[in-house]
Structure 1
Amino acid sequence: MAASKIQSPLPGIFYRRPAPDQPNFKEVGDKIEAGDVIGLVEVMKTYTQIQSDVNGVITAFLVDNETSVTPGQVLAEIKT
């Protein structure tokens, strides 16, 4: 199986859950399909959904919740 990476399209703060009182969108080991949301990147109170481009299983998150990210930074890895 091949590996795929999900990268941040823009700078901002990465959030793994939709709200502080809700669970993470996805966890390591979860099956994922193209279009599934894995997190949000917030820039100046605007939230952009980060979606998978592929089907597979999440093998790692490389960024912690509420961490600053840069464009192109790898957020998660997926085994396809």
Structure 2
Amino acid sequence: MEVKAPIVGTFYAAPSPDAPPFVKEGDRVQKGQVLCIIEAMKLMNEIESEVSGTVKQLLVRNGEPVEYGQALFLIDPA
């Protein structure tokens, strides 16, 4: 399952530059768990998982701009 960007903005994998990422490949996630932040117009928007499962792939690098509907993660529901 793809997790897609609900807004246009800048992708951040961690809550701050010196913090560990919210998730990494191979991590188990729960529905509602924060996966990343997208900054849009100086507002930080937490992006949550819509399913429980395993993070198979991160498709965006930290600090990259993302478009509406762009795939951010691949999650294997389980």
Find the counterpart in structure 1 of residue 45 from structure 2: 48
- Give the percent of matched residue pairs that are identical in Structure 1 and Structure 2: 36
**Take 1:72 and 1:44, find their aligned partners in 2: how far apart are those partners?**
18
Q: Aligned to 2:27, which of 13, 30, 33?
A: 30
Find the counterpart in structure 1 of residue 56 from structure 2: 59
Deviation at 1:44, TM superposition (A): 1.6
Question: For 1:3-22, what aligned pairs fall within 5 Å after superposition?
Answer: 4-22=1-19
Report the TM-score when normalising by structure 1: 0.94
**Alignment RMSD, CA only?**
0.5
The structure 1 segments of at least 4 consecutive aligned residues displaced by more than 4 Å after TM superposition are: none
Matched length? 77
List runs of 5+ in structure 2 lacking aligned partners: none
Alignment of 1:77 with 2:59, yes or no, is no
List runs of 5+ in structure 1 lacking aligned partners: none
Q: Deviations over 1:8-42 (max 9, x none)?
A: 00000000000001000000000001001110000
**Take 1:54 and 1:27, find their aligned partners in 2: how far apart are those partners?**
16
**Take 1:50 and 1:44, find their aligned partners in 2: how far apart are those partners?**
16
